[in-house]
Structure 1
Amino acid sequence: MASLDSVSLAILLGAILVMAGILSSLLALRFGAPLLLVFLFIGMLAGDSGPGGLSFSDVQNTYLVGSAALALILFDGGLKTRFQSIRTVLAPSMVLATLGVLLTALVTAPVARYALDLNWTEALLIGAVVASTDAAAVFLLVHAQGLRLRPRVGATLEAESGTNDPFAVFLTLMLVELISVGDSSVWHVVMEFLRESMLGGIVGVIGGRLVVVALNRVALPQGLHAPFVTTAALVIFGVAQIFHASGFLAVYLAGIIIGNHPTRAHSSVVTFLDAATWLAQIVMFVLLGLLVSPYRLMDSALPAVLVAFVLMLGARPLAVFLCLAPFPFNWREKLFIAWTGLRGAVAIFLASIPMLVGLSKAYLYFDVAFVVVIISLLLQGWTLAPAARRLHVALPRADRGPRRVELDLPGQLEQQLVGYAVRPTSLFLRRGLIPSWSKPTLVIRNEKILTPAEAEPIEAGDYLYLLAPPEKAEALDRFFVDMQPMASPDPHLLGDFLVSGETSLGDIAQIYGVSVDPAAAELTLADYFDVHLDRAPKEGATLPLDAIVLVARNISQGRVNAVGLRLPQDGEERPPPSRMGTLKQKAAKAWSAVAGT
């Protein structure tokens, strides 16, 4: 009976842990990634060195759980990544994800060698274990802290953090093999890297396309789409690993492919994976905490702290500035990207590999990684939002978006029903703006269902349902969030939409239906400010462009790099009705291009 009681106790404790994880998601919106450290300490307290007294040394199962959790985290990150938003930063992101990881490891290795009394190969393994940024920590912090980063910076961070884990895993495995076998060559390492990358890419692309086909053609019962996709992600990871390919690269690419194709139940899949990845991180941190011995940590704590500070303040910034030197990033953007190199569960997960294969000093790698992660999440994690604002890479952000209801329509994949509560000062109600690719379908008022014609005019408090493409549904949020009240037009107003200063006048003319001189169509918005202002542009400077107003929203090195597009305010002179109709129809086309900003 004692064994049955122990099973019941395990079920009870596991259920309490899961419930705590679900409730902690509310706190995560405020505190971000450092909240995960709570579960790391829970694992430590439950371990044999804490009050719990639980003896746990199952590295194999920890590695198994960690692999599955990391695969789901990367898949979820890929699923939310819009290829349109990252394709312009693929080159710098790939350089950071490969050369950047290698440079970080190489710069960290000498410090680890002399501080921890290791040989060069062992020191380089320490560098490789802590060299990559953690996708889960970066994704969680950026969203949880409500940061709205400049498009180029945000896209670079997401693409880098999603793709550098495979290279870090590869580098760690190669060094573990070198320490174990004692013989290897540069040619062997290069060929292994190319083989794993190519095979991982092939498996990911094929697997992602097969999942898209299965989702759209197989009539699964309602509610099974999300578990099917989650399981499929793990199948893709497992197949890639069996063929000695990069399973982590495969699931990330599969997520990008699935997320960028129209599929059934897309919103429910994303919601389910959000919950699954959050719980996976919690389980991962608890298990890793169980493996930590506070008494053992004391022997390497001070050298590990030195490694952590050299990594954050020296190795990562140097790697970022060197890797991004050929690309048009200013020093503020580079500095922020360097500071956002958070270390998370991935580093501790990689440190468990030497323990799994039984290397000497295996626990030393694990303990150093543990200290580095704690310092990184505490120091970098809690200062991420202030750093973004101080370095001017965080754009102004409105209140969190309105609650959005998404319903799939049987029989087709191109449209879904998206519903919102109409707020009193929303852009939709105040200006009548609505994207041309969306179509109002029904209105609920006082518990009655009306057609848009019957409900005309739409009133505050109504619930409006629109048909919209699934991949663009999130872009509708902008039109249903409350706008800040203004007594008169404010020259510092963000504008109805925000675009890059490198957007051409020709593109603006095509999207908004305004007239520009054909000879000036190739000018960028930044060039337009330089040409028409008799002094260096300042934040808030305005220039008219036919029926709209351009607002200089952000200045960098004397150039306008973010421009607000302001449509006519109430009481301002408006273009003729026919032109205003064109503006209202075409204005939101820009949002699909800039929604990621």
Structure 2
Amino acid sequence: MAEHQLVALAGVFVLGSLAQWIAWRLRLPSILLLLVFGFVAGPVTGLINPDELLGDLLFPVVSLSVAVILFEGSLSLQLVELREIGKVLGYLLTLGAGITWLLTTLAAYFVLGLEFHTSLLLGALLVVTGPTVIGPLLRQIRPIGRVGPIARWEGIVIDPVGAMLAVLVFEAEAAIQAARFDVATLDAASGLLGTVASGIFFGLLAGVVLEFVLTRHFVPDYLQSPVTLMFVFASFVASNLLKHESGLAAVTVMGVYLANRHAVPLRHILEFKENLTVVLVSSLFILLTARLDPMVMMDFGWRGLLFCLVMLLLVRPISVFFATLGSPLSWAERGFLAWLAPRGIVAAAVASVFAIRLGPEAGRGLVPATFLVIAVTVVVYGLTAFPLARRLGLAMADPQGVLIASAHAGARAMAHGLQEAGFPVLLVDTNHWNIQQARMEGLRTAPMNILSEQAVTDLDLGGIGRFLGMTSNDGVNSLAALRMADIFGRAEVYQLTPARKAEKQEEAAHHLRARFLFGPEVTYEVLDKKFAAGWRIKITKLTPEFDYAAFRAQYGDEALILFTCQNGQLTVRTSESKSVPAAGHKIIALVGPDGNSHA
């Protein structure tokens, strides 16, 4: 017995990690392989029986894991984004969620044939989308404009909303069964307000106290992550004890608060939470899928497929249409949002918890229906979202924007030149002063460590097609280039020439597949000295009358060509660049303090 439990427990982690690895190699949504592996390990082979393995601890473990996942996701939410998307997001989280709840309930009742109470509960659960699924899709698509931030915010904030709605349904049903029809509505309204208030109070309390502890250096670096996890668990449990299922709101509020308090050192916390979240998501999907009853799935038959089609073709489009009515979003942006609502781990976890509460008969069909929607939405959206975004003009097959690792004065000057030439730029830096200066200058920024997992998962890369490693640390530039090659491809990843470019270092750089920027002698120190001496960025358009030879005659051989562009295509100059810019090209160059513009 003990040996079997040991094998099963190890199998959860082994299968979860293996599914993530294979999905990465095959460039498939990891959730698909996790569902397959969990189903094979559970109902098919019987290798893993979660109820026997963890017993009464199963759902407390699931609840705490979901809390960590939501907290980690909420750390990527910047309130500054709400200036542009706040109104639309508010309607999606209220009116859109209400319409989704109503229509899903009707579909579950009339199509799947579930009991009305179960249908009402399923409708509340399927209000949520999936941040663990939407994040990878957005990284693949890199949508332009407002739809990326809207989808990311909705995917995280809607999860506690769905959980709270499920609690309201559960409590209202108890009141109705007790023939208290006159107070059921009042109970539901007061329950909602109490849940929201409890989540906000404990989330802010935990965030403020943790901020005080970290900024006053009461906790050493190596304990920052465990102490933060302690606060996450404490706020989650305390809020749940006061108002059931309000803990998800509490950890979300806590994460958003900390993410927007720039004095809080988040580097250690983010790195720890990112790794922990991958493990938790993998393990939870294996455990929860292993509990599925295949007979119930088979009982749905054609009705299950029809239900999923209703969710895809009617419920989501209708809810987005009414939630965005009168908004500044274009029809293309509305169409893309209407076709992006994959469900993920939160829906699966909360459905499993409530199925236990309802009992085997009343809750029959709740979990299989949820997992069916998860599987279908992940497959359909995963295969079609990117082609649709390109068709709608919200994603480019060859994006020309630039991601720059650094926001120092030189990087900011280059960013201004690129923006003036018509190319989107995103600056990433951990230096608060650099980020603040860049924002004051009107540049788009992201305050994070370029080497963190957050830089891969949470950056809004809409319109971005290449990476420039321009920090003062050559090792960081090389490692960042290696990571970004998986996103942008080897040909569009660049770094500044290392300060000491010995032969072995050149081989290492080649192995990392990064290309040296601008010239063989252009290091961070060289650029920094030039900008400090008053060198400036100049944009010059070459014509038959003012060709490249005239450019050199005007600015001298010392002028450093950084980029050239023609017909909307940007070319980054490297140490290997040999071509001579011709008439029709725009040159973005670094020229001496006495240079004049011929734009």
TM-score category, normalised to shorter length = 0.5 to 0.7
For residues 45 and 166 of structure 2, the distance between their equivalents in structure 1, rounded to whole angstroms, comes to 30
Seen in structure 2, the aligned counterparts of structure 1 residues 254 and 296 have a Cα distance that, compared at 3 Å, is same
| 1:527-547 deviations in Å (ceiling 9; x for gaps) | xxxxxxxxxxxxxxxxxxxxx
Give 1:324 shift. Answer: 0.7
Q: Which amino acid aligns with 1:226?
A: S
Contact 1:444 1:464 in 2 (8 A): no
Contact 1:174 1:189 in 2 (8 A): yes
1:46 and 2:45 are equivalent in the alignment: no
Q: Which amino acid aligns with 2:567?
A: P
Give 1:125 shift. Answer: 2.2
Q: Indicate the larger mover: 7-16 or 168-177.
A: 7-16
For residues 326 and 308 of structure 2, the distance between their equivalents in structure 1, rounded to whole angstroms, comes to 28
Q: Percent identity of the aligned residues? A: 22
Tell me which of 488, 491, 499 is aligned to 2:567: 491
Give 1:373 shift. Answer: 0.8
Contact 1:421 1:461 in 2 (8 A): no
Give 1:336 shift. Answer: 0.7
For residues 405 and 24 of structure 2, the distance between their equivalents in structure 1, rounded to whole angstroms, comes to 19
- Equivalent residues in 2 for 1:515-530, closer than 5 Å: none
Aligned residue in 2 for 1:538: none
1:156 and 2:150 are equivalent in the alignment: yes
- Equivalent residues in 2 for 1:452-531, closer than 5 Å: 459=520, 489-493=565-569
For residues 131 and 340 of structure 1, the distance between their equivalents in structure 2, rounded to whole angstroms, comes to 13
Over aligned residue pairs, what C-alpha RMSD do you find? 4.1
Seen in structure 2, the aligned counterparts of structure 1 residues 87 and 172 have a Cα distance that, compared at 3 Å, is same
| 1:240-279 deviations in Å (ceiling 9; x for gaps) | 2122162222211211221222356523322221111111
Tell me which of 133, 139, 145 is aligned to 2:135: 139
Contact 1:332 1:393 in 2 (8 A): yes
For residues 579 and 369 of structure 1, the distance between their equivalents in structure 2, rounded to whole angstroms, comes to 64
Contact 1:135 1:158 in 2 (8 A): yes
Q: Which amino acid aligns with 2:243?
A: H
| 1:459-493 deviations in Å (ceiling 9; x for gaps) | 468577999xxxxxxxxxxxxxxxxx999631324
What is the SS of the residue equivalent to 1:392?
coil
Aligned residue in 1 for 2:588: 569
Seen in structure 2, the aligned counterparts of structure 1 residues 315 and 460 have a Cα distance that, compared at 3 Å, is farther
| 1:479-519 deviations in Å (ceiling 9; x for gaps) | xxxxxx999631324799xxxxxxxxxxxxxxxxxxxxxxx
- Equivalent residues in 2 for 1:343-422, closer than 5 Å: 343-359=343-359, 360-394=361-395, 397=399, 419=473, 420-421=476-477
Aligned residue in 2 for 1:193: 192
Aligned residue in 2 for 1:5: 3
The TM-score normalised by the length of structure 1 is 0.68
Query: What stretches of structure 1 of length at least 5 have no aligned partner?
Result: 431-441, 450-456, 468-484, 497-565, 584-597
Give 1:122 shift. Answer: 3.3
Give 1:73 shift. Answer: 1.9
The TM-score normalised by the length of structure 2 is 0.67
Seen in structure 2, the aligned counterparts of structure 1 residues 149 and 60 have a Cα distance that, compared at 3 Å, is farther
Seen in structure 2, the aligned counterparts of structure 1 residues 234 and 487 have a Cα distance that, compared at 3 Å, is closer
Seen in structure 2, the aligned counterparts of structure 1 residues 230 and 384 have a Cα distance that, compared at 3 Å, is farther
Give 1:168 shift. Answer: 0.9
Aligned residue in 2 for 1:65: 61
Q: Which amino acid aligns with 1:353?
A: V
Seen in structure 2, the aligned counterparts of structure 1 residues 465 and 490 have a Cα distance that, compared at 3 Å, is closer
Q: Which amino acid aligns with 1:83?
A: L
| 1:347-401 deviations in Å (ceiling 9; x for gaps) | 2223223322134331211111111111011111232222222222225546996
Aligned residue in 1 for 2:241: 242
Aligned residue in 2 for 1:165: 159
Seen in structure 2, the aligned counterparts of structure 1 residues 36 and 55 have a Cα distance that, compared at 3 Å, is closer
Aligned residue in 2 for 1:86: 82
For residues 59 and 86 of structure 1, the distance between their equivalents in structure 2, rounded to whole angstroms, comes to 43
For residues 570 and 348 of structure 1, the distance between their equivalents in structure 2, rounded to whole angstroms, comes to 54
Q: How many residues align?
A: 465
Give 1:87 shift. Answer: 3.5
Seen in structure 2, the aligned counterparts of structure 1 residues 390 and 264 have a Cα distance that, compared at 3 Å, is same
Aligned residue in 2 for 1:296: 296
1:179 and 2:173 are equivalent in the alignment: yes
Contact 1:59 1:355 in 2 (8 A): no
Aligned residue in 2 for 1:439: none
What is the SS of the residue equivalent to 2:142?
coil
What is the SS of the residue equivalent to 1:489?
strand
Query: What stretches of structure 2 of length at least 5 have no aligned partner?
Result: 407-427, 437-446, 450-470, 482-490, 506-517, 529-560, 573-584
